[in-house]
Amino acid sequence: MRCEVCGRKIHSAPIKAIIEGAKLTVCVECSKHGKIVYDEPAAPKSPLITVAGGKPKAPVSMMQKKRPPTAKVEITQELVEGYPAKIRVAREKLGLSHEDLGLKISERASVLKHIELGKMEPNNLLANKLERILKIKLLVPIEEEKPGDLPKAVAKDQEMTLGDLIEFKDSEEPKARKQS
C-alpha cells in the first residue's frame, strides 16, 4: 500500500488522515500535515424492500410508521348551572380563604378567584377536587335531548332545518314549508 500524498510505500499500519478536507490513507510523515481520523464502525445499512414490480422501496426504518389511533373521549358530565356561586358559598361555609383552599387542592388562589367570578370553568380534575373538599356536587351527567323536545312544526317524514329551531313570537306564525 502506498501513501496517497507522497507515494512512498507504507510499511506500518496505514493511517487515515484529513488533509485539506480530503480523507486520505497516508504514511507517518504525511499524517503530520493533517488530522488523524480513527475509523468508527459504520452503521449497518438497512436492506431495501423490493415490491411486486421489482422496484426497490425505502428501507423499513425510513418508512413512516402508522400512528396508533387516538382514543376518542366521550364527554359524559357537565358543570351544574350556577357553579361559581355554589363554590363560593361552600368555601365561605367552611371558613376557607382562596389561599387556604388553594393549598388543600394544590391550585393557585388566582385560579379559584377566576372560577368563583365565572371567568373560568374548572376542568373535570379540578371540579372533582373541589367536590371532594367542599362536599358539593359540581359535575352532573349530561341530559340527552328526547324526541319530544323537538319543535312540533317538523313532521316525522321531513328533515329538520335551522328555521325549525327558531322560536317565533306569539303574533308570528311559522310559515308552511315547501317540499323541495
Beta strands 139-141 and 49-50 are unpaired
pLDDT at 26 over 80: yes
H or E segment to which residue 53 belongs: none
Residues in a beta bridge with 35: 18
Q: 32-48 b/e with 16+ CB inside 10 Å = b?
A: eebeeeeeeeeeeeeee
* Torsion (CA) 9, 13, 18, 23 in degrees, nearest 10: 80
pLDDT of residue 22: 87
Q: Give the DSSP per-residue string, 85-138.
A: HHHHHHHHHTT--HHHHHHHHT--HHHHHHHHHTSS---HHHHHHHHHHHT---
Q: Where are the domains of the chain?
A: 1-39, 77-141
Chain mean position to CA 73: 13
Mean per-residue pLDDT over the chain, rounded: 78
- Residue 14 pLDDT grade (very low, low, confident, very high; cuts 50, 70, 90): confident
Summarised one tens digit per residue, pLDDT across range 55-111 is: 555 555 555 667 777 777 677 888 899 999 999 999 999 999 999 999 999 999 999
Dist. CA 25–CA 27, nearest whole Å: 7
Query: What does the pLDDT read at residue 151?
Result: 54
pLDDT at 71 (0 to 100): 72
Q: What is the mean pLDDT of residues 117-130?
A: 92
Domain 77-141 has CATH 1.10.260.40: yes
